[in-house]
Structure 1
Amino acid sequence: MAFSAPASRSALADINITPLVDVMLVLLVIFMVTAPMLSRPLNLVLPQPTDRQVAVPPTQLLLQVDLDGGYRLDDRPTTLAQLRTQLEEARISDPRTVLQVQAAEGAEYQRMVEAMAVVEASGFPQITLRQ
């Protein structure tokens, strides 16, 4: 016995390609818009390697005013006259030298003022005060 489909229910043998064409047209438009952007050259300025040396930190000196009124430059006792020449030599050897001035607690204020006057006369550009 053979089965036969009723006449009202005939099978459709055609494939509906309209959605496929719609999708392909959308993809074609997307590629046409994005393709010129992908092929455009980029104008970049990239960093170039240099033979630059590592920056050396500036020399630091420590001037201390003691309780007894004495002066010490990097833990070496000194007088005001010697201090000026030592500071001038340090400034000439490295202009970036930083001088740190520290007064002992209870030291005479006048000794600190005299030391700062010598530092100013020696032409130091950078001075820091420490506690």
Structure 2
Amino acid sequence: MAFSASVRAPAIAEMNMTPLVDVMLVLLVIFMVSTPMLSRNLQATLPQAAPPSPLKPMQLRVAVGSDGSYRLDDRPLGNQELWERLEAAVAADPRVVLRVSASGDADYQGMVTVLSEARARGIANIGIQP
């Protein structure tokens, strides 16, 4: 009996790329055909945005002098003119901020008058400064 060693063919170390290329080309064709169908225009009614509100509210500064005089943003004003300016400021911006300050020897009644008149004219944001 003669024993002969069977000679095996060496294993193929490379992967066959032909089926992979075929599959990739088929997928490419499918995507190329289906893409125009996806780009149809969809009619939609979009909501309209409201105009943006001002970032900062208007700021006014009233100073009460020792003689009972009033200064609005460093401009001397009489009582009636100050009240009219406060009304105009509220009409222009309802979120107006009023800062009230008084000199060291000012009468409290002048300060209270400014606070009550500002409140009566619709100013809700009032601050008292030293």
TM-score interval, smaller chain: 0.5 to 0.7
Asked if 1:81 corresponds to 2:80, the answer is yes
Write the distance in 1 (CA, Å) between the matches of 2:52 and 2:112. 40
Write the distance in 2 (CA, Å) between the matches of 1:94 and 1:62. 15
Is the CA contact (8 Å cut-off) linking 1:71 and 1:79 kept in structure 2? yes
Q: Deviations over 1:34-76 (max 9, x none)?
A: xxxxxxxxxxxxxxxx9x8685211100010011210001111
State TM-score, norm by structure 1: 0.56
Q: How many pairs align?
A: 82
Write the distance in 2 (CA, Å) between the matches of 1:115 and 1:72. 11
What is the one-letter code of the residue matched to 1:61? L
Kindly state the Cα deviation for residue 103 of structure 1 after the two structures are TM-superposed. 0.8
Kindly state the Cα deviation for residue 80 of structure 1 after the two structures are TM-superposed. 1.6
What is the one-letter code of the residue matched to 1:92? A
What is the one-letter code of the residue matched to 1:122? R
Query: Counterpart in 2 of 1:112?
Result: 111
Is the CA contact (8 Å cut-off) linking 1:80 and 1:115 kept in structure 2? no
- Structure-2 change in CA distance of 1:72 and 1:53 (3 Å): same
Is the CA contact (8 Å cut-off) linking 1:63 and 1:72 kept in structure 2? yes
Q: Which runs of 5+ in 2 are unaligned?
A: 1-48
CA-based RMSD of the aligned residues comes to: 2.1
Q: Deviations over 1:7-48 (max 9, x none)?
A: xxxxxxxxxxxxxxxxxxxxxxxxxxxxxxxxxxxxxxxxxx
